[in-house]
Amino acid sequence: MNWTWFHKLGSPKWFYEISGRWLPWLAWAAAILVSVGVVWGLAFAPEDYQQGNSFRIIYIHVPAAFLAQSVYVMLAVAGVVGLVWKMKLADVALQQAAPIGAWMTFIALLTGAVWGKPTWGAWWVWDARLTSMLILLFLYFGVIALGQAISNRDSAAKACAVLAIVGVVNIPIIKYSVEWWNTLHQPATFKVTEKPAMPMEMWLPLLVMVLGFYCFFAAVLLMRMRLDVLRRESRASWVKSEIKSLVGKSA
Amino acid sequence: MSSVFTLLLKRETRLLFRRPAELANPLVFFAIVIALFPLAVGPESQLLQTISPGLVWVAALLAVLLSLDGLFRSDFEDGSLEQWVVSPHPLALLVLAKVLAHWAFSGLALVLLAPLLGLMLGLPLGAMPVLLLSLLLGTPILSLLGAVGAALTVGLKRGGLLLALLILPLYIPVLILGSGALQAALQGLPAIGHLLWLASLTALAVTLTPFAIAAGLKISVGE
Amino acid sequence: MSTPFLEAVALACERDWRLLFDKLDLRLESGEMLQISGPNGSGKTSLLRLLSGLMQPTAGQVLLKGQPLEAQRSELARNLVWIGHAAGIKGLLTAEENLTWLCALHQPASREAIWQALAAVGLRGFEDVPCHTLSAGQQRRVGLARLYLSAPPLWILDEPFTALDKHGVAQLERHLANHCEQGGLVVLTTHHSLLEKPAGYRELDLGQRAA
Amino acid sequence: MNFSSFADFVAMGNHGVYVWTSYGISLAVLILNVALPILARRRYLQDEARRLRREELK
């Protein structure tokens, strides 16, 4: 098998060039998908027969929750790549993705709580999903705090990678134990997000929103990574010339 | 290889016993936290009994966490960790011996102290075997997972609070299963399911975490 | 050209956004002694830690007998004595207990050999004294006693002379020179200039490289 | 269109407060996530411009 693409991927210069080409496309895709999804979900999707219009929060809650979970898995994957193949870009990706993931978790938690008020009559209910999300937020805080606390950036990236991998092994255990704890304490609660069959007019905008959120994440991640690459590689000649041309443009 | 394991166990034991006050600190902390609750929520025995499973477990969890902050600190400062890293023995094995020694004296003492405090909270005698077993199976996981955090934060000036932040979320399954077992026992239900789950998590932790601890220590030493 | 015992190729080290050194090439053969000097913060300790595999270089690599370090950790461990700033001595344990453990960790030694090594560094009669009651110089001697046991060829020592008295310094210098003449290899940092230099003595000034 | 009038759309069948706060705060967070890296990049480039000018003066 030809592995040159993999090593090329590790080259910051190559990444900077290719990501510069992808970024506008991703940004536009995210903007279009999210606006279409929002308008569709808010104005055109039919209302839920049980929850009425408050169910429209699903179009934010579910994509954010999806993204929050997959970003954590991505942290661990980046961690493995960084530790095993010593790829610097994976370190960059890990540290730049963590805050975005934490914000997505925050959105999922907040919309879940707001949604809970009309559905359960309380702002916060110790529902299995919300509780798992809260724990996920704590896990993100851990990764971010550890990355900030270690001053040497290579060690910081490696330490975060180890923590993310330990966390990702734990996530299924946490998830199942929390679900199990939940059924033990409040049997047969009404689950908001698990509807037996959602009609197509309802899940199609959801799909659009999920795609939009993923594009959004990719675009923001690339933006953050590009800046970090410039900072880290500031001694390389291509970065110096790139910065000169950028400074020249803005001045 | 195994001789180094037993030698390290002996050495750690010797070190712990030359400073016995440090062994007692987590135990005293455990007892004080438990004593705080009747003072905070009132002395009604019914209420105390219902919350006692969670209480004992939260207190045990915090006591273990507190004792772990210094787990690798002195080894880091006096250069012992460097010697471990450059030695021909697998670091994961050395680390396992170290955590095992630490658990045998702090975790195990906690397990032995727990029934006494359980009695003070009004736990019936019938629930004691489950309390003992659940702590016996759960505290090694707490020590091992905590050691991962301790390894990652050992080089930091103020790692204590960060350690709690990193590790407490990972303790949640143990907390749920441990206090769940005790709750089941209180209600007269079989607790064997919980205990089996705890046992399998212990097996998982013993096999996997030493590698994470070793990786964490290598990072901290290599800084 | 034969493969040298220890080799550094285009080594670079960066700490907290500061480049300590880069494009550093080193070839060390048996019988040589390399003294690394330079002002504080010039990366002396970092270079030693890179050579002993404790730290990963920012760029370049370290080769032991022609093979990269990471690929042969056990081979390195068999060949290396590393004594850092802190030698891994526990204050709560006695001199003998400390040395026994350090030997068990690297190369097991008999009780007699350990007592002889302690006597060689002038600690006869202090074998069962807890190390925290010893002076700083005596504690350092406990760590250095490892060099008087049947030691592997490569010694990497970070400031081995600190806290030693005049007699101790002279004795250690002689011992290091002896080791080199018998085909060993010593890499060390120190601020004082050595009086006793073996034939294969070299100095690397990190401060001058940067300037 | 699922709503008969704009007022209906805003009211969301008595759940307007919940729906609109959710969407509002989420949108704010998304914008923040875009704005922060852009601002950081601008600040970085300004710093670099200043550094380059300093070096030219030398």
A245 belongs to a structural domain: no
Q: How far is B176 from chain A (nearest CA, A)?
A: 7
Nearest to D26 among A47, A53, A107 (CB): A107
Q: Roughly how many angstroms between the first and final C-alpha of chain D, as a whole number?
A: 66
Q: Are residues A159 and B220, on separate chains, in Cβ contact within 8 Å? A: yes
Q: How many domains does chain D have?
A: 1
**C-alpha to C-alpha distance for B60 and B56, rounded to whole angstroms:** 6
DSSP label at residue C94: B
Of C12, C10, C7, C27, the closest CA to residue C67 belongs to C7
pLDDT in tens, C151-194: 788 999 999 988 888 888 999 999 999 999 888 899 999 888 88
Average pLDDT over all residues of chain C: 87
A11 belongs to a structural domain: no
DSSP label at residue B143: H
Pairs across B and C, CB distance < 8 A: 70
Q: Are residues B4 and C86, on separate chains, in Cβ contact within 8 Å? A: no
D1 belongs to a structural domain: no
Per-residue pLDDT for A194 more than 70? no
Residues of A in contact with D13 (CB under 8 A): 47, 52-53
Segment among A78-92, A179-193, C159-173 with least mean pLDDT: A179-193
Instruction: Evaluate the CA torsion angle C75, C117, B91, A154 in order and state its sign.
Output: negative
pTM of the model: 0.90
User: What is the domain extent for residue D32?
Assistant: 17-57
Residues of B in contact with C105 (CB under 8 A): 4, 83-84, 87, 89
The percent helix, strand, coil of chain B (3-state, each to 5) is 85, 0, 15
A97 contact D CB<8A: no
Of C143, C129, C43, C128, the closest CA to residue C85 belongs to C143
At residue B97's C-alpha, the angle toward residues B96 and B99, to 5°, is 65
Strand order through the sheet with C59-64? C18-28, C6-15, C59-64, C67-68
Contact yes or no for B153/A146 (Cβ under 8 A):
yes
pLDDT in tens, A133-181: 999 999 999 999 999 998 888 889 999 999 999 999 999 999 888 888 8
DSSP label at residue A54: G
Q: Which subunits count as partners of chain B given 3+ CB pairs below 8 Å?
A: A, C
Per-residue pLDDT for C204 more than 50? yes
**Residue pointed to by tokens 């709750």:** B183
A192 belongs to a structural domain: yes
Question: E strands of A19-169, at which residues?
Answer: none
Nearest to C16 among A86, A152, A235 (CB): A152
Q: Are residues A174 and B169, on separate chains, in Cβ contact within 8 Å? A: yes
At residue C101's C-alpha, the angle toward residues C97 and C103, to 5°, is 120
The two tokens of residue C145 are: 């006693």
Of B19, B9, B222, B90, the closest CA to residue C101 belongs to B9
Segment among A7-11, A219-223, B183-187, C150-154 with least mean pLDDT: A7-11
Of B220, B12, B219, B213, the closest CA to residue B93 belongs to B213
Residues of A in contact with C56 (CB under 8 A): 86, 154
Q: How far is D7 from chain A (nearest CA, A)?
A: 12
Nearest to C16 among A86, A151, A235 (CB): A151
Per-residue pLDDT for A235 more than 90? no
Q: How far is C208 from chain B (nearest CA, A)?
A: 25
Interface ipTM: 0.89
H or E element, residue A64: helix A58-85
Contact yes or no for A40/A205 (Cβ under 8 A):
yes
Mean pLDDT of C78-83: 89
Q: Are residues B153 and A149, on separate chains, in Cβ contact within 8 Å? A: yes
**C-alpha to C-alpha distance for A142 and A164, rounded to whole angstroms:** 9
H or E element, residue A179: helix A153-185
Contact yes or no for A43/A94 (Cβ under 8 A):
no
Q: Which residue of A has its CA nearest to D11?
A: A53
Q: Are residues C15 and A235, on separate chains, in Cβ contact within 8 Å? A: no
| pLDDT band at residue A1 under the 50/70/90 scheme | very low
Of C17, A249, A14, the closest CA to residue D45 belongs to A249
Collapsed DSSP state (helix, strand, coil) of residue C8: strand
A12 belongs to a structural domain: no
Q: Which subunits count as partners of chain C given 3+ CB pairs below 8 Å?
A: A, B
Nearest to D37 among A61, A216, A223 (CB): A223
Of all residues in chain C, what percent carry a pLDDT higher than 90? 22
DSSP label at residue B105: I
| pLDDT band at residue A187 under the 50/70/90 scheme | very low
Q: Are residues A151 and C58, on separate chains, in Cβ contact within 8 Å? A: no
At residue A134's C-alpha, the angle toward residues A183 and A128, to 5°, is 15
D41 belongs to a structural domain: yes
What would you report as the CA-atom Rg of chain C, rounded to the nearest whole angstrom? 17
At residue A63's C-alpha, the angle toward residues A62 and A67, to 5°, is 115
Mean pLDDT of A244-248: 81
If one counts every other C-beta atom within 10 angstroms of the C-beta of residue A33, the result is 20
If one counts every other C-beta atom within 10 angstroms of the C-beta of residue C199, the result is 10
| pLDDT band at residue A47 under the 50/70/90 scheme | confident
**C-alpha to C-alpha distance for A148 and A152, rounded to whole angstroms:** 10
Task: Give residues 19 to 48 of A whose Cβ lies within 8 Å of D.
Answer: 34, 38, 42-47
Q: Which residue of A has its CA nearest to B158?
A: A149
Q: How many domains does chain A have?
A: 1
| pLDDT band at residue A190 under the 50/70/90 scheme | very low
**C-alpha to C-alpha distance for A56 and D10, rounded to whole angstroms:** 13
Tens digits of pLDDT across chain B (223 residues): 568 899 899 999 888 888 888 888 899 999 999 999 999 988 888 888 888 999 999 999 999 998 888 899 989 999 999 999 998 899 999 999 999 999 998 888 999 999 999 999 988 888 899 999 999 999 999 999 999 999 999 988 877 889 999 999 999 999 999 999 999 998 888 889 899 999 999 999 999 999 999 999 999 998 7
Instruction: Evaluate the CA torsion angle B133, B135, B136, B141 in order and state its sign.
Output: positive
Low-confidence ranges of chain D (pLDDT < 50): none
Segment among A49-58, B142-151, B176-185, C56-65 with least mean pLDDT: A49-58
A5 belongs to a structural domain: no
Spell B183-213 as b/e; 16+ CB within 10 A means b.
Answer: bbbbeeeebeebbebbeebbeebeebbbbbb
pLDDT in tens, B30-79: 999 999 999 998 888 888 888 899 999 999 999 999 888 889 998 999 99
Contact yes or no for D23/A42 (Cβ under 8 A):
yes
Mean pLDDT of A51-63: 86
Q: Are residues B219 and A162, on separate chains, in Cβ contact within 8 Å? A: yes
If one counts every other C-beta atom within 10 angstroms of the C-beta of residue B98, the result is 23
User: How far is CA B193 from each of CA B133, B182, C156, rounded to the nearest angstrom?
Assistant: 12, 12, 54
Q: Are residues C56 and A235, on separate chains, in Cβ contact within 8 Å? A: no
B107 contact A CB<8A: no
What's the pLDDT at A189? 42
Q: Which residue of C has its CA nearest to B12?
A: C93
User: What is the domain extent for residue A209?
Assistant: 18-44+57-240
Chains B and D touch (3+ CB pairs under 8 A): no
Mean pLDDT of A119-125: 83
A148 belongs to a structural domain: yes
Q: How far is D6 from chain A (nearest CA, A)?
A: 10
Q: How far is C151 from chain A (nearest CA, A)?
A: 32
What's the pLDDT at A142? 95
User: How far is CA A63 from each of CA A151, B31, B41, rounded to the nearest angstrom?
Assistant: 34, 45, 41
Of A227, C103, A177, the closest CA to residue B88 belongs to C103
H or E element, residue B182: helix B172-186
Q: Pick A203 or A206 by higher pLDDT.
A: A206
**Residue pointed to by tokens 């955090």:** B149
Residues of C in contact with B14 (CB under 8 A): 92-93, 97
Mean pLDDT of A203-210: 90
What's the pLDDT at D33? 94
Nearest to A106 among D3, D29, D49 (CB): D29
What's the pLDDT at D10? 77
Q: Are residues A154 and C56, on separate chains, in Cβ contact within 8 Å? A: yes
Q: Are residues A181 and B152, on separate chains, in Cβ contact within 8 Å? A: no
Strand order through the sheet with C154-158? C80-83, C154-158, C185-189, C32-37, C200-205
Query: What is the number of alpha carbons within 13 Å of residue C165 lying toward its C-beta?
Result: 6
What's the pLDDT at A250? 57
Phi-psi region of C36 (alpha: psi -120 to 50; beta: other; left: phi over 0): beta
What's the pLDDT at C108? 84
Average pLDDT over all residues of chain A: 86
**C-alpha to C-alpha distance for A46 and A56, rounded to whole angstroms:** 9
Residues of A in contact with D12 (CB under 8 A): 52-54, 56
D34 belongs to a structural domain: yes
What's the pLDDT at C71? 80
**C-alpha to C-alpha distance for C87 and A158, rounded to whole angstroms:** 26
Pairs across A and D, CB distance < 8 A: 91
